[in-house]
Chains A and B, each alone.
Chain A
Amino acid sequence: RGDTEIHNEHLSLVFDSATGYLKTVTNLKKKLTLNVNQAFYWYNSSTGNNKDSTQRSGAYIFRPNGTEPLTIKTKGSVITKVVAGKLVQEVHQVFNDWVTQVIRLYAGQRQAELEWTVGPIPFKDGLGKEIITRFDSDLKTDKKFYTDANGREILQRELNHRQTWKLNQTEPVAGNYYPVNSRIFIKDASKQLTVLTDRSQGGSSLKDGSLELMVHRRMFYDDNFGVGEALNETGVFGDGLVARGKHYLMLESPADSGQLHRTLGEQLYMAPAVSFTPNTLSTQDWS
């Protein structure tokens, strides 16, 4: 009946009692609390043609037909299960038939793990869908956000702005999307919210305190840039692909974040290789 909370020695995550969405993140050791709502949304793809100003969304082009994403509609709380344990605590969320998420806190780890599962994206309504996860916080970010750039240094991005020319922004959403190869973050003077990805994705911050990443997409028209096919992967059963991946969320001070997200990034992108063998030996005999 109340809010749901999971925590380890570093982080506390609180989920809203009515919606089941993530509500606050607290760094317990540094006493930093961030009000942050996390949920999934989808942009409806443009279905025009590239002969005039109604460019379609497709394999090459991300072009939503509006500036606001549509909400993944949920009924009541999305939380279906909470697991408490000494090593790992989990909150299971079901947003609808094709969007679910498990949020985990492992003992001793400074980051929360968000494992999302999206798909098969419905197609019977004929609407192209580009699915995002979005974190809306109370950070005062002054239109600034940060993404890594093709494996090189992290670059500051600014909403509707380019550093070296005067931009006439005609695409308020897509024109502010940037490649996120491993991480994206927003910050103010005292707090930094960093999200590391397990694969390259597109990401942006379209409002102050907001951070979004595109996790899956499915469209029904070719964008006329050469591929000659719509980006409509049907999978072996014909109903579409299911994508599953992870985001790693950190809330730290801006001063400490650089070292911490780089250390975590090394662990994620040079992850250990695990192999198995059936065994009938004791430890001594194995040794």
Chain B
Amino acid sequence: SSQRFREAMAVAQHHDAVSGTEKQHVANDYAMRLHAGAVECQAVVGRALTSKMKKGSVDPPAAQFCTYLNISICPTTEDNDNFAVTVYNPLARQLTGHYLRLPVNGQAYTVSSPKGTSVETQMLKVSPRTVKVRGPRGNATSELVFPVTVPALGFNTYLVSQASKRNTRMESLFMPQAETKLNVVSMMIPQSPMM
């Protein structure tokens, strides 16, 4: 199954797929193959991240991907008050000033950087949905925007909590230490054929 995306890409080298001159049922087939390949790739990336994050006997939770962020749909960020966002940077240089835009349902959120510091955020209202959608339909009322910094060929994890439901113990533990540099979630991924 790890070859599925390669096979889909190979099929899509045909001139009809490149230029969009295929019949509609062929276009549908190309889309299906590419989607199946992309899902397999997400599984590979998820396994790689899990192996890099693993400490001792504790298995980190499986990574979930959101392919409908462009239409403000992501069940994980919409349905959970607390979630982790892991950002992998494929560039061979540090990525700075990149903004994430996540669909959410709460009013306010706090975001912790990998160093434990608080990250500035902005909330934006999601426009009313006017277009019919087949399949998952987002319920997000807002989008949470915040900047991320990611090392070259590595990843960073940001923790997001809905402010109003935030655990008071966590708040008392972490707010005074906002500038404490934990710096343990950020790590380099060595060159790996899997990645």
Tally inter-chain residue pairs, CB-CB below 8 A: 140
- Provide the residues of chain A in CB contact with B66, threshold 8 Å: 274, 276
Say what secondary structure dominates the interface of chain B: mixed
* Chain A residues near B124 (CB-CB < 8 A): 83, 85, 88, 90
Query: Complex: how many Å from CA A280 to CA B161?
Result: 9
| Pair A278/B120 contact, Cβ less than 8 Å | no
- The residue in chain A whose Cβ has the minimal distance to the Cβ of B112 is A283
- The answer to whether B20 touches A59 (Cβ under 8 A) is yes
Q: Knowing A88-B145, A236-B134 touch, does A277 contact B62 (C-beta < 8 A)?
A: yes
Complex contact A229–B23 (CB within 8 A): yes
A228: chain B residues at CB < 8 Å are 23
A157: Cβ under 8 A from any B Cβ: no
- Contact of B108 with A by CB under 8 A: no
* A262 within 8 Å of B (CB atoms): no
The one of A233, A266, A270 that contacts B24, using a Cβ cutoff of 8 Å: A233
* Alpha-carbon gap, A266 to B91, bound state (A): 8
Q: Number of B interface residues, CB 8 Å? A: 65
- Do B82 and A278 touch (CB < 8 A)? yes
Whether, in the assembled complex, A275 has its beta carbon less than 8 Å from a beta carbon of chain B, the answer is yes
Bound: A270/B63 CA distance, A:
20
- Contact between chains at A278 and B91 (CB < 8 Å): no
Q: How far is the CA of A47 from the CA of B67 in the complex (A)?
A: 37
Min Cβ gap A177→B in Å is 13
Tell me if A168 counts as interface (CB < 8 A to partner B). no
A86→B122 contact, CB < 8 A:
yes
Complex CA gap A236/B24 in Å reads 12
Q: Which residues of the other chain, B, contact A282 by a CB distance below 8 angstroms?
A: 159, 167, 170, 173-174
Q: Known: A283-B112, A283-B174. Contact between A276 and B63, CB under 8 A?
A: yes
Determine whether B140 belongs to the interface, using a CB cutoff of 8 Å to chain A: no
* Known A237-B134, A244-B71, A274-B87: A87·B147 in contact at CB below 8 Å: yes
A272 with B95: CB separation less than 8 A: yes
- Does B192 lie at the interface of the complex (its beta carbon under 8 Å from any beta carbon of A)? no
Interface residues as binary, A75-93 with B (CB distance below 8 Å gives 1, 0 otherwise)? 0000001010111101010
The answer, among B20, B65, B185, for a CB contact under 8 Å with A276, is B65
Is there contact, CB below 8 Å, between A278 and B88? Answer: no
Which residue on chain A has the smallest CB distance to residue B16?
A227
Q: A279-B82, A286-B84 are in contact. Are A60 and B91 (CB under 8 A)?
A: no
CB-defined interface of B143-156 with A at 8 Å, one 1/0 digit per residue?
00111101000000
7 A-B pairs in the complex with CB atoms less than 8 angstroms apart: A225-B21, A244-B71, A267-B98, A272-B88, A272-B150, A273-B87, A278-B83
Residues of B at under 8 Å CB distance from A? Answer: 16, 19-24, 27, 42, 45-46, 49, 60-66, 69-71, 74, 76-77, 80, 82-91, 95, 97-100, 112, 116, 120-122, 124, 127, 131-132, 134, 145-148, 150, 157, 159, 167, 170, 173-174, 182, 184-185
